[in-house]
Homo-oligomer: A and B are copies of this chain.
Amino acid sequence: MDAPLPDLSNLHPVGGKRSSKRDRILNLFLRQEGHLSADDLFDLVRRVDPGIGRATVYRTLQWMVEAGIARKVDFGEGRSRFEPAYRHPRHFHLICTKCHQSSEFLSSDVESLMEEVAASRGFTAAQAVVQIYGTCDDCRTGHKSPPVDGATTKLVFARDALRMAIATERSGLEFYTRAATLAGDSRGRSMFKRLAEEEGHHLSQLEQRYRDLAAKDPHLETRPTFLFFKGAANGLFDAGAERLRHGVNDEQALLIGIKCERGSHQFFKRYGERFEESEGRQVFLEFADEERAHLNLLMKEYRSLRQRQGRRRTRKGVGAAKLTH
C-alpha cells in the first residue's frame, strides 16, 4: 500500500524521464525534515542554486509524487505540502488548527483496517491520508512542551519498536514456558524449554537495549507514543498462550507456536522494511530474523513429530508446501 522503494542511485529513471537539476532539488528535498510547501522548497533551492526557476521546482515535485518519492499532503492552508516518501512509511497527522503545528504518528492497525476496507470494495489503494484536526496539548494548556527534533523522533521510534519487541518476547516467553510444562513428549518438552530460554535471553538483551536508549534522553520514557501498533504492541503470543490454558496436545501446541512465530516474523519484517535506516528499523528487522529462526525450529520439530507419528493426514493451512519457507 505504501510507496515503492527504489534504490536512491537509480531513482531518477523511475518516472521514465531523465535528470540533471532534479538531482539537486531531490537531494535537498530528501534531506529535509517535516512538510515543505512548494515555496519553502523553492527558497531552499534558490539559496543553493539561484539559477533554478520556480516552475522547475513545481514540476520536480509533481514528478516526485508520481514516482512515489514524495507525498502531497494538504493541511487546509490553501497550499500543498510535500514530504519524502522514500523509506518513510505513511504516517498520519495530528494538525492543530490553532498553532498550525502538526505532529505525526503511525498505526499499523489503522493501515490494516484501511487495507481491509479497500480490498472489500475492489479498490487498489496507493496512498492513504489520515488527518486529525483539533487543538494540540500546548495550545489547550498554554504550556509549551520541548520541541522535538529529528534525533528525538528517531529515539522515540526506536523506543516504541523496542517496546513492541519486548512485549512480543514476553508473551512468547510465557507461551513457551507454559508449553514446556504441558508437553507430553520429552523431546517436545526440551525444545519448548530451549525456546523459552532463548526468549528469556533475548528478552533481557532487549531490556538492556531499552535501558541504554532511555539513558540517552531523560524524558524519553514520558514522550508520547509514535507507533500505534496496538494489535502488535500487546504481545503477539498472548492469544496463543491463552489457548494453551484450554489444554492442547503437543502437535496443536506446535501449530499454535508456528502460527504465532510466523505472524510476528511477517509483521516485524513487513514494517521494518518500510522504514528508513534507523535504530528502530534495526530493531524490527533483527527481531524479524529471530522470529524466523524460532519458526524454523518449530517447523522442523513439527515435521519430525509428524514423521514419528507416521500419520499422513493433511492439515489445512500448514500443508507440506507451505512448510518450506
Where the two chains meet, the residues of A that have a C-beta atom closer than 8 Å to any C-beta of B are 72, 74, 76, 80, 92, 94, 96-97, 103, 105, 107, 109-110, 113-114, 116-118, 120-137, 140-141, 224-225, 228, 230, 246
Check A228 against B132 for contact (C-beta < 8 Å): no
Closest chain B residue to A127, Cβ basis: B133
Check A126 against B118 for contact (C-beta < 8 Å): no
Interface CB pairs A-B, < 8 A, 26: A92-B117, A94-B123, A103-B121, A103-B123, A107-B113, A107-B117, A109-B113, A110-B114, A113-B228, A114-B130, A114-B132, A117-B228, A118-B132, A121-B136, A121-B137, A121-B224, A122-B136, A122-B137, A122-B224, A124-B134, A125-B134, A126-B135, A128-B133, A129-B129, A130-B131, A246-B246
Complex-state Cα separation, A74 to B274, whole angstroms: 27
Complex-state Cα separation, A142 to B238, whole angstroms: 45
Closest chain B residue to A223, Cβ basis: B121
Complex-state Cα separation, A116 to B92, whole angstroms: 13
Q: Which residues of B have CB within 8 Å of A121?
A: 94, 103, 105, 136-137, 224-225
Complex-state Cα separation, A111 to B118, whole angstroms: 16
Q: Which residues of B have CB within 8 Å of A129?
A: 129-133
